[in-house]
Structure 1
Amino acid sequence: MDQRAATLALPETPRSFGFFVDGQTIEAGPRGHFERRSPGHDVPVTRMPKCTKADLDMAVAAARRAFEDGRWSRIPAVERADVLLRAAQILRRRTEEIAYWETLENGKPISQARAEVGGCAGMFEYAAGAARALHGDAFNNLGEGMFGVVTREPIGVVGLITPWNFPFLILCERVPYILAAGCTIVAKPSEVTSATTLLLAEVLAEAGLPAGCYNVVTGSGSTVGQAMTEHADIDMVSFTGSTAVGRRCVAAAAGNFKKLGLELGGKNPQIVFADADLEDAADGVAFGIGFNTGQCCVSGSRLIVERSVARDFEAMVAAKLAKAKVGDPLDPETQIGAITTTAQNDTILGYIANGKQEGARLVCGGDRLDFGRGQYIAPTLFGDVTGTMAIAREEIFGPVLAVMPFDTMEEAIAIANDTVYGLAASVWTKNIDKALTVSRRVRAGRFWVNTTLAGGPELPIGGFKQSGWGREAGIYGVEEYTQVKSVHIEIGRRQPWVG
């Protein structure tokens, strides 16, 4: 039977996973399980161990041993690169399997999941090159008696906490770069989307990553995640999630002054000028809010459009959203899938109700969609939105787009920057002066011109303001997991201090 056709059937029984420490899978035993139901089909699909703080301690100890004995941190970069390249090959071979479990647990369309796994393989390939390119510096300007060298060293044991919206993509925007730097990892995925994080453990083991270098502990954020941010033997934590939880990470990390990498919330503007290719822009804006069902920290959830074309453009976007195929995530034709968690489903519907109450004009969507099972929300567009409304200021994390008109470029920039966040932004215009001015003045870590949600492993990601600290991906994402050391080398005889 064709593998792709076979994977489109629902599992008859949920698949049970263990957690992964020191190169070995450990069964749940007496710990109990989380049972995950597919948000698109409302059937049980996976069962994950409810790990404890003791399990985390065991994983951190394994990662510490692996780091300190140099089995990964002190080997030549070419050997690390070889492992990362083999991992990429295995990911490409196992794309269907990984995409299948990603779709079942998350609810995203299978076509999107397949593309994401392919992109993740590319990240491993890029990181392999970055491992070999990582370098320090030399200072030959200290006089005849001194030579200076600056080295980059791996920071140590990294705790990695990933969210449920892009379980595999966000994982792979970090893991290969962390490994390229020479660090070891303890990963804690969301308890509702843990399967693909554990599948990556199999991939890395097959690729030849030494035991203890990648460990996975499943469990709740309040138990395992909190203990990870507080753990005295973890040197750095990378957390992706809400700004509110990010603040708690900052407080918890103070115990041993561990370094933090934080990718947090966003309320991202898409600025559309009247001179843009409006058909292209409408399609891009619809994609920017519909991709991953709007459950995307960089989704373009604020449409800031020039007033002279605002009503016409609003209608164009509404028409695009109406044509987008919402439905079964396992259908290859689906473009917008299910809402991942019941809590998030309720949150999105609450914001839609609030938008109506605050006086915004509902242009399209705004309803639950009933397909007989699963949880789905129609892509929603609000007009007549003001900057004081909750739907204009707060991260909804769903397919809800707020339209706000502007008259001048200065006003557009001011509206775009009127947020505590600074994660991403887009501008649509055929005027290069406008594009460059807006891209330079809007405060966001990622910026797109006449496109949105585009990119690859070469460029860094991260946010300004309350959208986070640090950068992931690219060579910057490898350097993020290193420490810089200055070495002073005296040449010749020392000038005596004591005669």
Structure 2
Amino acid sequence: MDHQPAHFLLPSDPRTFGFFVDGKIVEAGARPYFERHSPGHGVAVTRIPKCTKEDLDLAVAAARRAFEDGRWSRIPSVERASVLLRAAQIIRRRAEEIALWETLENGKPISQARAEIDGCVGIFEYAAGAARALHGDAFNNLGDRLFGLVTREPIGVVGLITPWNFPFLILCERVPFILAAGCTIVAKPSEVTSATTLILAEVLAEAGLPAGCYNVVTGSGSTIGQAMTEHMDVDMLSFTGSTSVGRRCVQAATGNFKKLGLELGGKNPQIVFADADLEDAADGVAFGIGFNTGQCCVSGSRLIVERSVARAFEEMVTAKFAKVKVGDPLDPATQVGAITTAAQNETIMTYIAKGRAEGARLVCGGEQLDFGHGHYIAPTLFGDVSADMAIARDEIFGPVLSVMPFDTIEEAIAIANDTVYGLAASVWSKNIDKALTVARRVRAGRFWINTTLAGGPELPLGGFKQSGWGREAGIYGVEEYTQIKSVHIELGKREPWVS
């Protein structure tokens, strides 16, 4: 496992941020700070203000004013698209800076962060086109006297709560679509990865987004996040995170019946048939669980493999894991970086211990890697996993893969669907009939055939079952942040009711 530190990229002192309300940076003043240490190096990298509920109220009020006076919600879509295109250009220009802060706070490999930021440029560019493509409908079938229109209107002020695993990517899978719809935003990033959400405020301001349309309030989920879900003047809440917290969002949102968009947990199957290109499948399976150190809601954490090739395929995946470069996130050669928080590191190691205790066979990995600082876990593979084990049922959110064999296509589908989640799934087979049958019957919002974790902003994201509500990205992602209005127009003179 390679570990080549790149200390020249580490800041000598942590960067101190303010928060962002009504087009202006607000300094922390007397507010305390979160001090974030790089999970790969243990060095302090950022200081983020702990905002108050009063700060949130000011941000929501700014977003409300910006929405109601029409400075964004009522301008032509071509003007909104122009702002989004300029934002894309600025992100491209600042890509290396954004990628660095993403890596410093999150611990993901710098090469991965760079690819994600590049993808975010494309998302903004796509959303600019979607802003201009958004439309309603007309009904010319109501008779000679009545004509019907269906319009889409921006829903209003959107509260946006994003997680620590993809701070900038998940932000950019939401923000440009929310803005394309004409809404205004109050964003609350994870307290451990707030830097790039605040940098996006600078980007959008430079791009010409009017003041008040994008606000950032930093703080913990238990204070600012909870207050946002309960806030009576937030029209919609978009939350990405665990299913347990998503459930609390549902309960809190009943105060004003705000609309919810929820992308929650997953326990995603990767189904491998004997007729697959097994070399491709082994590489894809390793990538599907190793990407972002498995801290990914669409990670393929259940390997459902045809029994006739199960042992041989285990060996192929083990060989792939042995070649994965785990190490310093700032080293461009690193493929798997650091675990983002000490708490998550402990959670993963606890599940590995549970897997052993419950009788699963540890094929490889399972240990903490010691590089002198930071949290690192070797990619881990368990065999002989049964459906009742914790490692087969719970979202671990780490590089831990469980092997579950099957004999028939019906059994593979049944195992894949035997979960409360339904976020994503993959199937590997060269038989298109078989692959499409599985794709149609496995209950998941995203599905990959002979690939995994692929795609772009054109296709929507979201889950079935307890993996969430609603869809992000694509034209569906713009529509998610709109309300539908029916307009009835009567032609000619009215037939009197009272004569």
Give me the TM-score of the superposition, normalised by structure 1: 0.99
The amino acid of 1:14's aligned partner reads: P
Q: 2-side partners of 1:314 and 1:495: how far apart?
A: 77
Is the Cα contact below 8 Å between 2:6 and 2:330 reproduced in 1? Answer: no
The amino acid of 2:150's aligned partner reads: V
Partner of 1:383: 383
Q: 2-side partners of 1:150 and 1:439: how far apart?
A: 34
Paired residues for 1:321-336 under 5 Å: 321-336=321-336
SS at match of 2:30: helix
Partner of 1:303: 303
The amino acid of 2:37's aligned partner reads: R
Paired residues for 1:21-420 under 5 Å: 21-420=21-420
SS at match of 2:190: coil
Partner of 1:422: 422
Deviation at 1:402, TM superposition (A): 0.1
The amino acid of 1:310's aligned partner reads: A
Q: 2-side partners of 1:175 and 1:28: how far apart?
A: 24
% identical equivalent positions: 85
Q: 1-side partners of 2:212 and 2:451: how far apart?
A: 41
Is the Cα contact below 8 Å between 1:161 and 1:239 reproduced in 2? Answer: yes
SS at match of 2:210: coil
The C-alpha deviation readout for 1:22-67, integer Å capped at 9, x for no partner, is 0000011111100000000001000000001000000000000000
Is the Cα contact below 8 Å between 1:8 and 1:330 reproduced in 2? Answer: no
SS at match of 1:287: helix
Give me the TM-score of the superposition, normalised by structure 2: 0.99
Q: 2-side partners of 1:433 and 1:389: how far apart?
A: 32
SS at match of 2:232: coil
The amino acid of 1:307's aligned partner reads: R
SS at match of 1:284: helix
The amino acid of 2:478's aligned partner reads: V
CA RMSD of aligned residues (A): 0.9
Q: 2-side partners of 1:476 and 1:361: how far apart?
A: 43
Distance 1:431 1:22, change over 3 A: same
- Unpaired stretches in structure 2, ≥5 consecutive residues: none
Q: Which runs of 4+ in 1 moved over 3 A?
A: 5-8
- Unpaired stretches in structure 1, ≥5 consecutive residues: none
The amino acid of 2:149's aligned partner reads: V
Deviation at 1:419, TM superposition (A): 0.1
The C-alpha deviation readout for 1:49-86, integer Å capped at 9, x for no partner, is 00010000000000000000000000000000000000
Q: 1-side partners of 2:290 and 2:321: how far apart?
A: 8
Q: 2-side partners of 1:49 and 1:90: how far apart?
A: 25
Q: 1-side partners of 2:450 and 2:228: how far apart?
A: 40
Q: 2-side partners of 1:344 and 1:318: how far apart?
A: 24
Greater alpha carbon shift after TM alignment, 8-17 vs 236-245: 8-17
Is the Cα contact below 8 Å between 1:289 and 1:400 reproduced in 2? Answer: yes
SS at match of 2:9: coil
Q: 2-side partners of 1:489 and 1:7: how far apart?
A: 68
Q: 2-side partners of 1:7 and 1:80: how far apart?
A: 41
Q: 1-side partners of 2:83 and 2:323: how far apart?
A: 44
Q: 1-side partners of 2:16 and 2:387: how far apart?
A: 47
The amino acid of 1:374's aligned partner reads: G
Deviation at 1:7, TM superposition (A): 9.5
Deviation at 1:328, TM superposition (A): 0.2
The C-alpha deviation readout for 1:106-135, integer Å capped at 9, x for no partner, is 000000000000100100000000000000
Q: 1-side partners of 2:286 and 2:192: how far apart?
A: 27
The amino acid of 2:465's aligned partner reads: K
Q: 2-side partners of 1:318 and 1:215: how far apart?
A: 46
The C-alpha deviation readout for 1:212-261, integer Å capped at 9, x for no partner, is 00000000000000000000000000000000000000000000000000
Deviation at 1:8, TM superposition (A): 5.4
Q: 2-side partners of 1:277 and 1:369: how far apart?
A: 32
The C-alpha deviation readout for 1:434-467, integer Å capped at 9, x for no partner, is 0010000000000000000001000000000000
Is the Cα contact below 8 Å between 1:426 and 1:452 reproduced in 2? Answer: yes
Distance 1:7 1:178, change over 3 A: farther
Is the Cα contact below 8 Å between 1:274 and 1:309 reproduced in 2? Answer: yes
Count of matched residue pairs: 495
The C-alpha deviation readout for 1:176-203, integer Å capped at 9, x for no partner, is 0000000000000000000000000000
Q: 2-side partners of 1:409 and 1:231: how far apart?
A: 48
Is residue 2:486 matched to residue 1:486? yes
Partner of 1:464: 464
Deviation at 1:9, TM superposition (A): 1.4
